[in-house]
Structure 1
Amino acid sequence: MRQKPYAKAAFRVNQPQDLGIALARAIRVSVSGRPGGVYLDLPANVLAATMEKDEALTTIVKVENPSPALLPCPKSVASAISLLAKAERPLVILGKGAAYSQADEQLREFIESAQIPFLPMSMAKGILEDTHPLSAATARSFALANADVVMLVGARLNWLLAHGKKGWAADTQFIQLDIEPQEIDSNRPIAVPVVGDIASSMQGMLAELKQNTFTTPLVWRDILNIHKQQNAQKMHEKLSTDTQPLNYFNALSAVRDVLRENQDIYLVNEGANTLDNARNIIDMYKPRRRLDCGTWGVMGIGMGYAIGASVTSGSPVVAIEGDSAFGFSGMEIETICRYNLPVTIVIFNNGGIYRGDGVDLSGAGAPSPTDLLHHARYDKLMDAFRGVGYNVTTTDELRHALTTGIQSRKPTIINVVIDPAAGTESGHITKLNPKQVAGN
């Protein structure tokens, strides 16, 4: 089998005596350096083999220090601080690598000491709370277009950041903190690469900052705050407008209100409109509590993530799902109900993939492949598995159902009826919409 292109490494075990060392090697490769999945192939003859218990016990390997610290070059750290100190409009971008590193306190101390505005990528939300005064998320486009020095912390200049091109200044200088040297210079030249694990790199940055103290210019922070306030006002108008049927904004406003009072929950999020809008509207207050489709944009991760987060943490989980996205893994609600997991699933039902384009491709009155049944009652699925279901059409009903679902710790589905005309293919890539709906 040819798994190597799709995994960090791939190994085959040819005899049962090698299982211990093979597992140890797979664990070490998986968690050391840049973490990644490892494929371990067990042929049928190995799976069917038997061993004496005493012999099997001797093959067990304890993995010592599987993820050793990788220290950055001190010269690179000093260069990074020097460049930031000279910057007029610095910006820190936190990626999921920063979240994986669990260097939360070092990152907070560095950002607050130097007063540098920051932007979190989706799964880095909560390293510093989204409501932090230095968060530039509300003025994201302006910050990216005007920053003169950007420090990437466990983040890559991939498509989620337009490869560092469209929407960026041509003369922006980049500092990149990454554990993987092959990520450096991948799309834009990196002025200062700092290669090492994030925790060690931030320890070095903090030590250097104490020797060469600087503070981000107040004028840059002030202009960002002006743009943040302007954008927040525009968003407030959308969130506070009551409509019937509901749209994404007022429905997510109700969800946001409830989650603000339940900051310990784990949030799972997938969809197109549902993902884009929830990422912008729902604030996170704690690190590693938001799980979504990430860089690859893969649908179908929702219920698996929800189950995993619930089992490993014991905490309530809220999964905010588009109706199409839910369909990719929805029958895992049986597992959720079987184990009585405290998972509340909020399904934004606008009757379409994206929103449906209404195009009759057959010419015979058949529905479009992107149209779903708007009158579908996803909440009724819970009748089959003895969970709890709610069908909601107002923000008050949604707040009540979500609050009850979280507090009850019972498997719950909330079917949120959304206007079929709400949303486009994606709030951020509308150029891909069918011509019939583009710009609507």
Structure 2
Amino acid sequence: MSHIFPRHTRQAPPVAVSGEGCYLFDASGKQYLDASGGAAVSCLGHNNAIVVDAIKAQLDKVAFAHTGFFTSEPAEALADLLISNAPGDLDRVYLVSGGSEATEAAIKLARQYWVEKGEPKRGKIIARKQSYHGNTIGALSAGGNEWRRAQFGPLLLDVSHIDPCYEYRLKRDDETPEEYGLRAAQALEDEILRLGPDTVMAFMAEPVVGATAGALAPAPGYFKRIREICDKYGVLLILDEVMCGMGRTGSLFACEQDGIAPDIACIAKGLGAGYQPIGAMLCTSQIYETIEQGSGFFQHGHTYIGHPTAAACGHAVVSEIINRDLVSRVRKQGDALSERLASRFGQHPHVGDLRGRGLFRGVELVAGRDSKEPFDPSRGVAAKIKKAAFAEGLICYPMSGTIDGQRGDHILLAPPFIIEDEQLDELVEKLETAISAVI
């Protein structure tokens, strides 16, 4: 009998005992191709010797030192490395233990920034439907997936949600992608004006939406217009790159491909690659200096922020990504995966859309390709595909509620950056077997 409180009380998952490269192994010896990196986490694959050695070496020095008393060498080194490769005016790094902590810290920093600037009326956040920003109350409030929010509704903050940039379902036939991108972005300005520009503190969005929409990339020009609107009204732009950042989409920071930089960025998952729990919030020098010249104290914190061992891990992971030029490999293997998916599923009667960037790919499933009609939610298509794929030895990330939190199914793929061509073939083959078994 287990005393673990599992994710689902009616499921008994196998015991993971080892990992090597793109594979995990359970206690029975069964091999699983990790085609989603868990949840877009294991970017370097499993058992990377350089990262493991960096963690061991740090443990021999100092495992933990509370940031109320100390900084540490690995924390300083990781912050320097991140800022030296960060876009725009990002200048300071606040190290946390995961993605939800990073987005929660971003929301609180945005609020404190405006208070210390003497604009306390700015307390409203605008975010997007069908985004996911984490599971703490603030992060869940900013997230726009109704299924995830529903039972916690009375606890959530009052956050406005505009439509996502969802070309497959929301672009009109008479629009070009560029025209649609501008129209989708206009929803932000409309909402700012509705709420009152002097009340809005921040807009939060994922550059490429992950878990709840399946690698949903923006239309051309969308984020440039979003940046312009934020600048026009003095609204902070918070970009949640927890899932899509750290090289996953083909650039170290996902927003680089849209030619913009945020005021606050959130990263995690690929920052630690699964070897340690770590995340980070990055902010501009302007935001930092406002706090520095005001109270001097960010009224926020957790026991394990800036954890030396986690920071040593993060530094090793980011160094591996940069030194091995794995971002270029993500683009190359991402194209190879995209070609394989298009060849196998491009005309599939139950695949409506193939999308994404780099090694961050989404497959949207439909009952009818021409009608774009989703499967009846009662069928539980995504959950069944996850189970069928796992039985085949494939770890992928299917989710339901793609369209509105209830309707729609997609499969998210986010394999390790080191994946080889033959493993891409294995991925697509096993995915097709799973989809066929369910549909």
* TM-score, scaled to structure 2: 0.28
* TM-score, scaled to structure 1: 0.28
**Larger Rg belongs to:** 1
**Higher RCO (CA 8 Å, separation ≥ 6 residues):** 2
